[in-house]
Structure 1
């Protein structure tokens, strides 16, 4: 393995090492995203929708796509007592009366905590340098807390929100209102308003056992040293979205988003996605569509394809300039999920073309590829292998790349308590000005055109529970 000096992070100096330290914390803060408020609402187990949370099984994905509603008539499955907000007769009096709704008798909240312990077998890796050469870290054993709000106002309007609290403060991670079944066939047109991850995949954004997001983020302007937030495909933004499914097999989304900007401007981001599922449980879970064996709710035989386009327009502050830089990025990508009973393979790739990722640049192409392979050995135990590859190609410079391999096992101690053991291998060929940290990397080459050997960045045990 190649030794790396903490002073030699390429053109960015100490910055790549500092960012790598942040990556270690972010890697440990896996989104819990199993919301016990839903379990209480429907009087059911977390395992109705999840394997090892936050990973969703086919029914859980249908529930998510339906706007957090059960197939059929959602209120038929609610076990919590509710308070009527108005009389049923008010519907006939509308618009001369307020349309009635419902309110649960108990507050629809849930809480969760997650964090990790990390060990560095080698002291000369980027991951070890990011942790000040500490062999073991326990200070992030509980790295963040979550407060979720989730429920429904009636059979058509639902809500979901998440507040995250960590050492850096509190942040509204998600907050959305879903107006479902607006027109056409059931599930054909749903309108989402609020702060949310853009729908670019056929599956939930946190559909990974060993990574925070299924789609590997690229964050190109951050890789080149931007001092303000970098736009990427997996960050929640304020916006509007229309999505839906047709005949239980086809799905789509179109959206308008605020994107990432260092100062206020009119929203200029828009996106669209489409996909199709062959075999298995219907995308909406309707018409009695279920897995073959109810004792194995994760097991189906299916192939799902999707593609997306995203156009972003971002203002950011560069590392070496006080003035804002205006960058336009056009992104195209695809995803594939194949399921054969307990085995699942997820593959995806996308390419971003930025016209100005840093001052003076003509254009930069960024490519992200990722794959995750998992096998449900037991209902509570899932071994996983994940690979990620990132590449940057400036029109007026040399290409650099970063390759990662994550091997792990996810285990449920109880339906709402999990541990994930994983080992992170990484190899970088060169590095951008800001290092690989903004895109989740930890390798720190000794210079911008130099390479590292294959490094074992760390062995991590993640703990998460929700109540």
Structure 2
């Protein structure tokens, strides 16, 4: 496909998509919580799902219950009692009573799209120059998977949530929210497969749907570390919230212990050539392509955030027995969040006896505890009128016990012999979103990635993403957008040398997409 045909085809797709969605009307969505409370998705979502508005965040902070202790007022489908309420006064001589949802607390989500791609780069390390597999392609992606969504409560203090494909749950956890001083929300305990609160900006609830945040999935390529925040980690977490003065804003905190498994980056950065070899070696050591764990060490993390202004982080209850589902994306406020994650993972290192080189490309001695890595940063999330502005500074530090060495000409045909133990990356992210009309939400993101590796450094690059969400129904959205980067197509200068670029796979390809996302 030539460039002219490529661009004309994309414009045709956009026009068709716009015509398809010219006449929206308000409709109730029917995922589990919408059915439970008989309310539209827009009650809790910022314009559209899956991003949460201030009320949705407060619902989340209250353990998946209505803020202000008003949950029972708004439940329209009465739960099934598991024991009489009087049993609580007989405890421990009786089982503590509880409830289960009246109907199965389950929903579904389908995504389908049409995509056009242009490969970047065209001359990758260890690959064939100008190879045709992703050179310029167009592809219809049918409804290739059906995502299951479930969530609900078991009585006053237990709640549950899960999401994933039929055969593999991406997230699933049970949360306990005890009453302290007659209130809930100050302290919670949850366990399972967690979307960790330490994640700088969760990709599960992003507005831009074309790709996860790079800071959630970026691997440290030259050390072979594919750990990531996204999609989830198995472990336990304690967390809590407290409204600020006057019921505005407030404090949120979390701490957790998790396994520390490989993230989705090992699938997203699906490059060929040398990158493909590194992924294969890492997968072999992890025992699989996704969710692999290298050792018995546990990772830990802490997070604290404070919201200035706007709705209280625990909400304040709804008024007059009604839920607002229009115009509720407005919440003039600024949220500042700091996070720190400390983990241990494996690495190929130089042989301490023979001195032979070890690295994730050629293998060598694999020390399952060699990489002591950190992820930390600060997030600013501001809402004003119809706008949401996000700024994040994320930092990645991989410190290798021992050293990683690349011989001359390996992982870069014109590269010298290099050795080191420090592999760092800084990522700066900015995003702006705007509700132009209740059914039109454009968004733009810029992500600047700056690796700094002792050995086999990677040239800095910037990724740009723009899309527009059109909402013909509250539970049905159409998305059209483009993502592109300034990642070089050909050899570029690094430390005075012309070095061929790493193939990061389709994640950095120039991509045009239009698709639909339906929850029911």
Q: Please report the TM-score for the alignment, with normalisation by the length of structure 1.
A: 0.80
Q: Which residue of 1 aligns with 2:423?
A: 364
CA distance in 2, matches of 1:385, 1:159: 33
Q: Taking structure 1 as reference, are residues 416 and 287 closer, same or farther at Cα in structure 2, changes over 3 Å only? A: closer
Of the candidates 309, 323, 329, which is equivalent to residue 279 of structure 1?
309
Q: CA deviation at 1:207?
A: 3.6
Tell me, yes or no, if the aligned pair for 1:256 and 1:271 is still in contact at 8 Å. Answer: yes
Where do residues 228-247 of structure 1 align in structure 2 (5 Å cutoff)?
230-247=226-243
Q: Which residue of 2 aligns with 1:150?
A: 151
Where do residues 205-284 of structure 1 align in structure 2 (5 Å cutoff)?
205-211=203-209, 212-214=211-213, 216-221=215-220, 223-224=221-222, 226=224, 230-248=226-244, 249-260=250-261, 262=286, 263=293, 265-284=295-314
Q: Which residue of 1 aligns with 2:185?
A: 187
Matched residue SS, 1:39: helix
Answering whether residue 41 of structure 2 is matched by residue 46 of structure 1, we say: yes
CA distance in 1, matches of 2:171, 2:381: 25
Of the candidates 83, 89, 103, which is equivalent to residue 106 of structure 1?
103
Alignment RMSD: 3.0
Q: Which residue of 1 aligns with 2:92?
A: 95
Q: Taking structure 1 as reference, are residues 404 and 130 closer, same or farther at Cα in structure 2, changes over 3 Å only? A: farther
Q: CA deviation at 1:220?
A: 2.4
CA distance in 1, matches of 2:132, 2:373: 30
Q: Which moved more, 1:142-151 or 1:349-358?
A: 349-358
Answering whether residue 443 of structure 2 is matched by residue 384 of structure 1, we say: yes
CA offset digits 1:349-371 (Å, max 9, x no partner): 21111013994441100122211
Q: Which residue of 2 aligns with 1:465?
A: 518
CA distance in 2, matches of 1:38, 1:383: 26
Q: Taking structure 1 as reference, are residues 243 and 199 closer, same or farther at Cα in structure 2, changes over 3 Å only? A: same
Q: Which residue of 1 aligns with 2:487?
A: 428
Matched residue SS, 1:300: coil
CA distance in 1, matches of 2:119, 2:204: 31
Q: Taking structure 1 as reference, are residues 215 and 76 closer, same or farther at Cα in structure 2, changes over 3 Å only? A: farther
CA distance in 2, matches of 1:157, 1:380: 35
**Which structure 1 segments of 5+ residues have no match?**
4-33, 444-456
Tell me, yes or no, if the aligned pair for 1:48 and 1:60 is still in contact at 8 Å. Answer: yes
Q: Which residue of 1 aligns with 2:415?
A: none
User: Greater CA radius of gyration, 1 or 2?
Assistant: 2
Q: Which residue of 1 aligns with 2:433?
A: 374
Q: CA deviation at 1:205?
A: 4.2
Q: Which residue of 1 aligns with 2:31?
A: 36
Matched residue SS, 1:217: helix
Tell me, yes or no, if the aligned pair for 1:207 and 1:213 is still in contact at 8 Å. Answer: no
Q: Taking structure 1 as reference, are residues 45 and 130 closer, same or farther at Cα in structure 2, changes over 3 Å only? A: farther
CA offset digits 1:302-336 (Å, max 9, x no partner): 11110011101123673432654432111211111
Q: CA deviation at 1:40?
A: 0.7
Tell me, yes or no, if the aligned pair for 1:188 and 1:246 is still in contact at 8 Å. Answer: yes
Q: Which moved more, 1:210-219 or 1:309-318?
A: 210-219
Q: Which moved more, 1:188-197 or 1:351-360?
A: 351-360
Q: Which residue of 1 aligns with 2:114?
A: 117
CA distance in 2, matches of 1:123, 1:209: 25
Tell me, yes or no, if the aligned pair for 2:78 and 2:102 is still in contact at 8 Å. Answer: yes
Q: Taking structure 1 as reference, are residues 379 and 144 closer, same or farther at Cα in structure 2, changes over 3 Å only? A: same
Q: Which moved more, 1:47-56 or 1:66-75?
A: 66-75
Q: Please report the TM-score for the alignment, with normalisation by the length of structure 2.
A: 0.72
CA offset digits 1:381-421 (Å, max 9, x no partner): 11111111112111245442221111111111211111111
Q: Taking structure 1 as reference, are residues 131 and 299 closer, same or farther at Cα in structure 2, changes over 3 Å only? A: farther
Q: Which residue of 2 aligns with 1:418?
A: 477
CA distance in 2, matches of 1:37, 1:356: 46
CA offset digits 1:25-73 (Å, max 9, x no partner): xxxxxxxxx9811111111111111122111111111111222111123
Q: Which residue of 2 aligns with 1:301?
A: 332
Q: CA deviation at 1:164?
A: 1.6
Tell me, yes or no, if the aligned pair for 1:201 and 1:306 is still in contact at 8 Å. Answer: no
CA distance in 2, matches of 1:71, 1:303: 20
Tell me, yes or no, if the aligned pair for 1:207 and 1:214 is still in contact at 8 Å. Answer: no
Tell me, yes or no, if the aligned pair for 1:253 and 1:274 is still in contact at 8 Å. Answer: yes
CA distance in 2, matches of 1:338, 1:397: 37
Tell me, yes or no, if the aligned pair for 1:281 and 1:289 is still in contact at 8 Å. Answer: no
Kindly tell me the number of residue pairs found equivalent between the two proteins.
Answer: 409
Tell me, yes or no, if the aligned pair for 1:225 and 1:433 is still in contact at 8 Å. Answer: no
Q: Taking structure 1 as reference, are residues 372 and 186 closer, same or farther at Cα in structure 2, changes over 3 Å only? A: same
Q: Taking structure 1 as reference, are residues 80 and 436 closer, same or farther at Cα in structure 2, changes over 3 Å only? A: same
Q: Which residue of 2 aligns with 1:67?
A: 63
